[in-house]
Amino acid sequence: MDEHSYFTEDDLCGVVHVVDLDGAFTPDEIIKGADVEKVQYYCDKIEIRSENIDKLKFSRQSKRKILEHLSSIDTIIIPKGKSVPYSIYYMSCNLDHVLHQKMNSTNREKQDDSFSFSDEYDDPEKFENFFNNDEIKIPGSYKETWDYVKKDYNSLKRGSNFWICINKYKDN
């Protein structure tokens, strides 16, 4: 194996984790059976084939527990006992929703849109401004942004707390 094809614990100074929420914190009652190929997200409901509702409910329960745990920790221990900072940031309902105002993109649309976003926001200042825009930015402290997204339908509403990460590391 090429010695430059992997990281060592000395290369790692912290972990920044970015996730889609997929409406994980909304009540299960908003999940509706529908004639759809894959899960469809809307501001007030989630549609899935009727036979997959229970599987989705279980998956969402697991995701909620994991996100609650990960959003409560600020360090992780990596091999050889090194402790590094850890933080997790979200895109709600998902990355396509935050970046392109689309909730149910096809794989092709995701690919095309990612290239468009990359081209348009190649400038770090423009990228920073995008996530600090009031249409995207969920205001508050790290904890407050997580508390917000756990309420009602907020994990389906367009928004992100990624601005906190950008602002925290922009001068480093």
Per residue in 3-39, pLDDT (tens digit) is: 566 777 888 888 999 999 999 999 999 999 999 999 9
Residue 141 lies in a domain: yes
Give the structural domain span for 119: 9-22+65-169
Does 92 map to a domain?
yes
Residue 96 has phi, psi (to 5 degrees) of -65, -35
The strand pair at 46-48 and 15-20 is best described as: unpaired
pLDDT over 80 at 171, yes or no: no
Q: What average pLDDT does this structure show over 152-171?
A: 93
Mean pLDDT of the chain: 93
Residue 158 phi, psi dihedral angles, 5° rounding: -65, 125
Residue 14 lies in a domain: yes
Does residue 28 belong to any structural domain of this protein? no
| Residue with the larger pLDDT of the pair 14 and 63 | 63
What residue has token string 């992100």?
Answer: 160
Q: Could you tell me which residues are beta bridge partners of residue 90? A: 19
What phi and psi values does residue 90 have, to the nearest 5 degrees? -125, 155
Question: Is 100 inside a domain boundary?
Answer: yes
Cβ atoms of residues 74 and 61 within 8 Å = no
Q: Are 131 and 163 in contact (CB under 8 A)?
A: yes
- Give me the pLDDT at residue 4, please: 62
Instruction: Report percent pLDDT > 70 for the chain.
Output: 96
* pLDDT for residue 169: 78
* 7 DSSP 8-state letter: -
Q: Which pLDDT belongs to residue 61? A: 97
Residue 2 domain flag: no
Measured CA to CA, the distance from residue 31 to residue 69 in angstroms comes to: 24
Residue 36 lies in a domain: no
Task: Answer yes or no: is 45 within a domain.
Answer: no
Report how many domains make up the chain: 1
C-beta atoms surrounding 110 within 10 Å: 16
Q: What is the pTM of this model?
A: 0.91
| Cα–Cα distance, 117 to 124 (Å, whole number) | 12
Radius of gyration of the chain (CA): 18
- Residue with the bigger pLDDT between 9 and 62: it is 62
pLDDT at 172 over 80: no
Q: According to the model, what pLDDT value does residue 2 have?
A: 56
Q: Are 46 and 40 in contact (CB under 8 A)?
A: yes
